[in-house]
Chain A
C-alpha cells in the first residue's frame, strides 16, 4: 500500500536532492525496490534518501513525466511481441518530447531520459521514449537515419554493395 502523503528524497549523481511523493516513485521499480530493501515500516516518515544514478536535470524531466502519469495503472502491463505500434503516444507525452526540440542537443536529452528510464526501471517512460525514437527513424533513408542517429558509415563500398544485393531479396 502506498500512502499518498509519504515522501521520499532522491539524491542525484551530481549531488542534488529532491523530495517527491511516493505516488510518483511507485512507478519506478528501482526506487520501490530500494525502499523495500530499507525494510522500514511503510508508515515511517521521512524515509532515508535513495541515491539514483541520474543527474539532476534529467531527474527533473523524469519527475515531470511521472507527475503526469502518477495515476497510471500498476503494475505496468507487460508488453509482449505484439507491441510494435509506435503511433499511439499520448498527446501530453508528445508535447513533453516536443519541448526538447528547442534545446540545443535534443538527441542527448532523449538519450539521457531513456537511460534514466532504464536505470530507474520506469517501463512506461521507456516505452514512450522508444516509440519516440522509432517514429524519428521509421521510413527514413539511409542518410537520414545516419544523421538522426549520428552515425558514421564504416562500410567499404564492396560491403555496401553486398548488403544491397542481399536486401534485393525483398521485392518491395
Chain B
C-alpha cells in the first residue's frame, strides 16, 4: 500500500537493546571513549554515568606534599595511562571533581591500585568519596615513615575487601612489625631496633600472617626445632589454598 511505501524501515536504536548488553558494552569502553560518548546525546551521557567502567589493570592515587609539611596540597588520580588533572584540595575543586567522576561511571574495578603519599595526614573523607564504588583487588601502599603505618591502615580501611601489598621501608621495632595486619605481600626493607637479626618466633609469626614475605638485609637464625616449626607453619598455610 501507499502507506507502506511511505513508512521507512523501522530503525532500531541502541536504546532498544537489552540492559545487559548496555552494561556489557560500557565495560569494554576506554575512559577516553566514555568521555566522547558523554557528548553524543543526553541518553548516552546518562548511560555513561549509570554504568560500571569495567576492570582496569592499574590505578593510582598520589597525594602531593610540597615541602613535605602539613597536609597534602593536591591529589593526582590515574586510571591506567589516563591521567586526571591535579585536584587542588580546596572544597570547590574537590566537589567539582567528585561530581565529574560520578558522571563518568558508577563503579570501577582495579586489579591493582597504588596509593602513595608523603606525610601523616590524608584527606580521608575525600579519598573515601573519590573511591566510592571502587573495587580494588590489590592495594599497594609504600610506607616510608613509621607514622605512615597509621595512614596506611586508614587507606586499607577504605578497601576492606582488597588484598594489601605493603612496601615497608621504615625503622620499626619488632612488636610493631608483628602487629601489622595480614597482607598479601609484605616487603620489608627497613631497619629494626634489634639490629640485623629477626628472632625465629617473630619470623614464624610473620610467615603465618603474610601470604608473601620478603625481608631484605636481615637474617633469621633458626635451630632445628625452629626450622620444623617454620616448615609446619608454611604447610598449614599452603593447606588453606
Q: Are A170 and B31 neighbours in the complex by a CB distance under 8 Å?
A: yes
Q: Which residues of A contact B14 (CB under 8 A)?
A: 111, 149-151
Cβ of A58 to closest chain B Cβ, rounded Å? 11
* Stretch of A23-31, A63-71, A77-85 that contacts chain B: A77-85
| Contact (A83, B36) CB under 8 Å given A107-B12, A171-B83 | no
The contact of A172 among B56, B82, B97, by CB within 8 Å, is B82
Report the interface size class on chain A.
35 or more
Report the interface size class on chain B.
35 or more
Q: Which residues of B contact A80 (CB under 8 A)?
A: 55
| Contact (A170, B84) CB under 8 Å given A81-B54, A107-B12, A151-B44 | yes
| Contact (A153, B24) CB under 8 Å given A111-B12, A111-B16, A138-B29 | no
Q: Are A86 and B28 neighbours in the complex by a CB distance under 8 Å?
A: yes
Does A164 belong to the interface (CB within 8 Å)? yes
The contact of B28 among A84, A145, A150, by CB within 8 Å, is A84
Cβ of B138 to closest chain A Cβ, rounded Å? 13
Binary contact track B47-89/A, C-beta < 8 Å → 1, others 0:
0000010111000000000000000000000000111110000
Cβ of A158 to closest chain B Cβ, rounded Å? 13
Instruction: With CB as the reference atom, state the residue of chain B lying closest to A104.
Output: B9
Q: Which residues of B contact A114 (CB under 8 A)?
A: 17-18, 21
Q: Are A150 and B41 neighbours in the complex by a CB distance under 8 Å?
A: no
User: Could you count the A-B residue pairs with CB atoms below 8 Å apart for me: how many are there?
Assistant: 132
Does B224 belong to the interface (CB within 8 Å)? no
Which of A134, A152, A153, A168: most chain B Cβ within 10 A?
A134
Cβ of A18 to closest chain B Cβ, rounded Å? 23
Does B185 belong to the interface (CB within 8 Å)? no
Q: Are A151 and B11 neighbours in the complex by a CB distance under 8 Å?
A: no
Which residues 84-122 of B sit at the A interface, judged by CB distance below 8 A? Answer: 84-85, 96-97, 99-100, 103, 109, 111
The contact of A154 among B42, B82, B97, by CB within 8 Å, is B42
| Contact (A142, B39) CB under 8 Å given A81-B54, A169-B100 | yes
Which of A86, A127, A130: most chain B Cβ within 10 A?
A130
Q: Which residues of A contact B29 (CB under 8 A)?
A: 134, 137-138
Binary contact track A105-136/B, C-beta < 8 Å → 1, others 0:
10110011011001000000011011101100
B contact set with A: CB distance below 8 Å: 9, 11-14, 16-18, 20-21, 24-25, 27-33, 35-45, 52, 54-56, 81-85, 96-97, 99-100, 103, 109, 111, 135
In the assembled complex, 8 residue pairs joining A and B whose CB atoms fall closer than 8 Å, in A order, are A81-B135, A111-B14, A111-B17, A118-B21, A150-B14, A151-B40, A167-B35, A169-B96
A contact set with B: CB distance below 8 Å: 80-86, 105, 107-108, 111-112, 114-115, 118, 126-127, 129-131, 133-134, 137-142, 145-146, 149-155, 160, 163-164, 166-172
